[in-house]
Structure 1
Amino acid sequence: MTDLTFYTNPQSRGQIVRWMLEEVGAPYETVILDYATTLKGDEYRAINPMMKIPAIRHRGKVVTEVAAICAYLADAFPDAGLAPAPADRADYYRYLFFASGPLEMTFSLKAINYDPPADKQRMFGHGNEALVFEALETMLGDRDYVTGRFSAADLVLASQLGFMMMFGMIEGSDTLKAYVARCTDRDAWRRAKQIDTDAGEALKAAAQAAAPAA
């Protein structure tokens, strides 16, 4: 037993938090939830009434929302060096919440093939897709990492961009491809991917075993 519990499904945004947990290096317990059953059960509803994953419980405190979880873990485990000093967090917060705001909105709308009409764009937090990626190109510029060294902000931003590239939502410019490659060239990322791959295969095998014979 540990004082840190991670609620997830390997085919979810929980992959981002898995990576963060592997970067932190603290022991944690994983609870894999099934979308059709345990995710909607009373036990998990008490953790997150939204019935969404991921979530963590640390020393009796629950944190939900990917960016919030990553920011919390960076502060809870400062020895991992995943957040700059409080006085140097302007860019850290800016990029962390750009990833969870405008970029996440772009991701979600592309997933349902919806592009807000020009006269409605001001009602959305990201404006439009072109504006988001033009801003990212400008914001990243020639920097290797958001704050000069890898941080939780890079982890969340690179994860969101990586998902969009993997699912064919964007091709990605040379700048963005290089940024994602640089951020994910880490042992913690590789460990996290392998853990979630194995968990996904286990879920698939369990579902096949439970399916009625044809």
Structure 2
Amino acid sequence: MAVLDFYTNPQSRGRMVRWMLEETGAPYETHILTYNGTMKSADYLAINPMGKVPTIVHDGKVVTECAAICAYLADVFPDAGLAPAVDDRAAYYRWLFFGAGPLEAAVVNRTFGFEVPAERERAIGYGNFGHVMDTLDTWLSTHPYIAGDAFTAADVYVGSQLAWGMRFNTVEDRPSFRAYAERLISRPAFIRASELDDAAAAEMS
């Protein structure tokens, strides 16, 4: 059996990957890192020179970046059914990378007070924050999951951003977003992952 190591902090985007790992059902070992300590240690920087979490090491192969980790895990654990068939992945890839590009960029920029000047919107990949929200809203108003009718790894990534964003007011709380998030957070794997990360956070406090 391949060894899977998960490097994270319970107060980080690692929560997305914990959820994804729980969805796969694969065994893994968790390594909790601290922001000003082990995350910047020589041992960890040898694995991820960015000194960021999450990271997974699967059978000696390093994968960083949440979207990449979610896609990778869906592919290497196909029995979990977390990726569509290869010839049916158009929406899956579209929204997975929409989450990693326009959605995250728009939310982070707005959170830190940067608004794109109207005359410069065509130079920015996402245009403006409102356009990103409207695009997601239109899609999720007619699709139960981000890639269509079935839950996939793309829901772990995009759904985490929307649920987290609504909780901390960095994403607009729209009816389609709320209904979508409620479908996701009721999943047993999400509940298990949240309990594990909450317990880890409590131990660190």
State the TM-score, normalized to the length of structure 2: 0.96
Shift of 1:188: 0.4
Shift of 1:162: 0.8
- CA distance, structure 2, for counterparts of residue 191 and residue 172 of structure 1: 25
Q: Quick one: which amino acid aligns to residue 167 of structure 1?
A: F
Deviates more, 1:100-109 or 1:77-86: 100-109
Task: Output the CA distance in 1 between the equivalents of 2:171 and 2:96.
Answer: 20
1:1-214 pair list within 5 angstroms: 3-145=3-145, 146-204=147-205
Larger Rg belongs to: 1
Task: Between 132-141 and 147-156, report the one with greater CA deviation.
Answer: 132-141
Q: Is the 8 A contact 2:67 2:96 kept in 1?
A: yes
Given residue 191 of structure 2, which amino acid in structure 1 is its aligned partner?
R
Q: Distance in 2 between matches of 1:15 and 1:78?
A: 21
Query: Which runs of no fewer than 5 residues in structure 2 stay unpaired?
Result: none
Query: Which deviates more from structure 2 when the two are superposed, residues 118-127 or residues 79-88?
Result: 118-127
Kindly state the Cα deviation for residue 193 of structure 1 after the two structures are TM-superposed. Answer: 0.5
CA distance in 1, matches of 2:172, 2:139: 19
**2:176 partner SS:** helix
The question of whether the paired residues in 1 share the 8 Å contact of 2:107 and 2:171 is answered with no
Residue 210 of structure 1 corresponds to none
8 Å CA contact retained: 1:2, 1:27: no
Looking at structure 2, the residues matched to 148 and 171 of structure 1 have their Cα atoms a distance apart, in angstroms, of 24
Post-superposition shift, 1:201?
Answer: 0.7
Q: TM-score, normalised by structure 1?
A: 0.92
Note the C-alpha offset of 1:51: 1.0
- Give the Cα–Cα distance (whole angstroms) in 1 for the partners of residues 27 and 201 of structure 2: 21
**Secondary structure in structure 2 of the residue aligned to 1:48:** coil
Query: How many Å separate the matches in 1 of 2:117 and 2:97?
Result: 24
CA contact (8 A) 2:56 2:69 kept: yes
**3-state DSSP of counterpart to 1:47:** coil
Mapped contact 1:2–1:29 kept (Cα < 8 A): no
Q: How many residues align?
A: 204
Identity of aligned residues (%): 52
| SS of structure 2 residue aligned to 1:159 | helix
Superposed CA offset, 1:42-101 (max 9, x none): 111111111111010000000000000000000010010000110000000001111111
After TM superposition, give the deviation of residue 134 of structure 1 in Å. Answer: 1.1
Where 2:27 maps in the other structure, the secondary structure is coil
Partner amino acid, structure 2, of 1:164 = G
